[in-house]
Chains A and B, each alone.
Chain A
Amino acid sequence: MGKTIWSMCGMCSVRCPIKVEVDDGDISWIEGNPHILDRALCPKGSAGKALYNDSERPQTPLIRRSGRGAGNWDPVSWETAIDYIGEKLERIIDKYGARAIMMSCRGGPWADLYKAFIHALGSPNFTNHDSACGRNVHHASLSIYGLGRKGFVYDIKNAKHLVLFGRNILAALRVAEVNQVMDMLDQGGTLTYVDVRQTLTGVKAQNFFQVKPGTDYALALGMINEVLRIGAYDKEFVDKYTIGFEKLEEFIQPYTAAWAAKECGVKEKKIKSFVEQIGADRPKVIFHPGWMLSRYRDSFYHSRALQILNVLMGNIETKGGQIFAKGPGDCGVKGLRTLDSQIPKPEEKRADGVGWKYKHFDKGPGLFHLFYDTMTTQDPYPIKALICHRHDPFNCFPDPQAQKDALANVDLLISVDTHYSEFGWFSDVILPESTYLERDTGIATQKGPKPRFIVRRKAVETRFNTKPGWEIYKLLAERMGVGKYFPYETIEDYWNWQLEPTGFKIEDFDEKGFVSLTDKPIMYDRENLEGKFKTPSGKIEIISSKLEDAGLPSLKPYEPPCKPPKGKFRLVFGRSPIHAHGHTINNPLLNELLPENTLWINKRVADRLGLNDGDLADVVSDTFKGTVKVHVTEFIHPEAVYTVHGFGRQVPLQSRAYHAGLSDQKLMEGLLLHMDEAGGGLCLCEKFVTVRRSPRNPRRSVEL
Chain B
Amino acid sequence: MNRYLLYLNAKRCIGCHGCEIHCKVNKNLPVGPILCEISHEPLKNVRGVPKTEYSFRSCYQCEDPYCVSICPTNAMQKREDGIVFIDYDACIGCMACAGACPWQIPQYNPATGKAVKCDYCIDRIDKGLKPACVTKCTTHALKFVELQEF
**Are A and B genuine complex partners?**
yes
- Whether B104 is near chain A, meaning CB under 8 Å from some CB there, is no
Q: How far is the CB of B99 from chain A (nearest CB, A)?
A: 24
Residues of A in contact with B, size category: 35 or more
A374 / chain B contacts, CB cutoff of 8 Å: none
B43 / chain A contacts, CB cutoff of 8 Å: 198, 203, 633, 635
Q: How far is the CB of B35 from chain A (nearest CB, A)?
A: 13
Measured CB to CB, the nearest residue on chain A to B141 is: A182
- Whether B21 is near chain A, meaning CB under 8 Å from some CB there, is yes
Give the residue of B49, B137, B138 whose beta carbon is less than 8 angstroms from that of A208: B49
Q: Which of B24-32, B67-75, B81-89 forms part of the interface with chain A?
A: B24-32
Q: How far is the CB of B145 from chain A (nearest CB, A)?
A: 18
Once the chains are docked, how many angstroms separate the CA of A635 from the CA of B51? 10
- Whether B16 is near chain A, meaning CB under 8 Å from some CB there, is yes
Give the residue of A49, A182, A206, A593 whose beta carbon is less than 8 angstroms from that of B25: A49
Say yes or no: B135 contacts A205, CB within 8 Å.
no
Say yes or no: A182 contacts B17, CB within 8 Å.
no
A29 / chain B contacts, CB cutoff of 8 Å: 26
Give the residue of A38, A170, A589 whose beta carbon is less than 8 angstroms from that of B14: A170
Give the residue of B17, B20, B31, B139 whose beta carbon is less than 8 angstroms from that of A40: B139
CB under 8 Å from chain A, chain B span 52-102 = 52
Say yes or no: B25 contacts A589, CB within 8 Å.
yes
- Whether A175 is near chain B, meaning CB under 8 Å from some CB there, is yes
CB under 8 Å from chain B, chain A span 159-197 = 170-171, 173, 175, 178-179, 182, 185-186
- Whether A622 is near chain B, meaning CB under 8 Å from some CB there, is no
Say yes or no: A202 contacts B18, CB within 8 Å.
no
A590 / chain B contacts, CB cutoff of 8 Å: 21
Once the chains are docked, how many angstroms separate the CA of A633 from the CA of B20? 26
Say yes or no: B49 contacts A41, CB within 8 Å.
no
1/0 contact string of A451-492 vs chain B (CB within 8 Å):
000000000000000000000000000000000000000000
Q: How far is the CB of B58 from chain A (nearest CB, A)?
A: 16
Say yes or no: A41 contacts B20, CB within 8 Å.
no
Once the chains are docked, how many angstroms separate the CA of A182 from the CA of B52? 16
Say yes or no: A635 contacts B139, CB within 8 Å.
no
Q: How far is the CB of A530 from chain B (nearest CB, A)?
A: 40
Say yes or no: A203 contacts B52, CB within 8 Å.
yes
Say yes or no: A589 contacts B21, CB within 8 Å.
yes
Q: How far is the CB of A183 from chain B (nearest CB, A)?
A: 9
A42 / chain B contacts, CB cutoff of 8 Å: 16, 18, 138
Say yes or no: A577 contacts B50, CB within 8 Å.
no
Measured CB to CB, the nearest residue on chain B to A30 is: B25
B30 / chain A contacts, CB cutoff of 8 Å: 588
Once the chains are docked, how many angstroms separate the CA of A202 from the CA of B136? 24
Whether A40 contacts B138 in the complex (CB less than 8 A), given A46-B21, A577-B16, A589-B21, comes out as yes
CB under 8 Å from chain B, chain A span 16-51 = 29-32, 38-43, 45-47, 49-50
Say yes or no: B49 contacts A205, CB within 8 Å.
yes
Once the chains are docked, how many angstroms separate the CA of A620 from the CA of B47? 36
Residues of B within 8 A of A (CB): 11-12, 14-18, 20-22, 24-26, 30-31, 34, 43, 48-52, 135-141
22 contacts between A and B (CB under 8 A): A30-B25, A40-B139, A41-B22, A41-B136, A45-B136, A170-B16, A171-B16, A173-B138, A178-B139, A186-B11, A202-B50, A205-B49, A207-B48, A207-B49, A577-B17, A578-B16, A588-B30, A589-B25, A591-B31, A592-B31, A592-B34, A593-B17
Residues of A within 8 A of B (CB): 29-32, 38-43, 45-47, 49-50, 170-171, 173, 175, 178-179, 182, 185-186, 198, 200, 202-208, 270, 577-578, 588-593, 633, 635
A sample of 20 more A-B contacts (CB under 8 A), given A40-B138, A203-B49, is A40-B136, A41-B18, A42-B138, A43-B17, A43-B18, A50-B25, A173-B14, A173-B138, A178-B14, A179-B140, A182-B12, A182-B141, A185-B11, A200-B14, A203-B52, A204-B14, A270-B48, A577-B16, A589-B21, A593-B21
* Closest 3 pairs (CB-CB, A-B): A577-B16, A198-B50, A43-B21
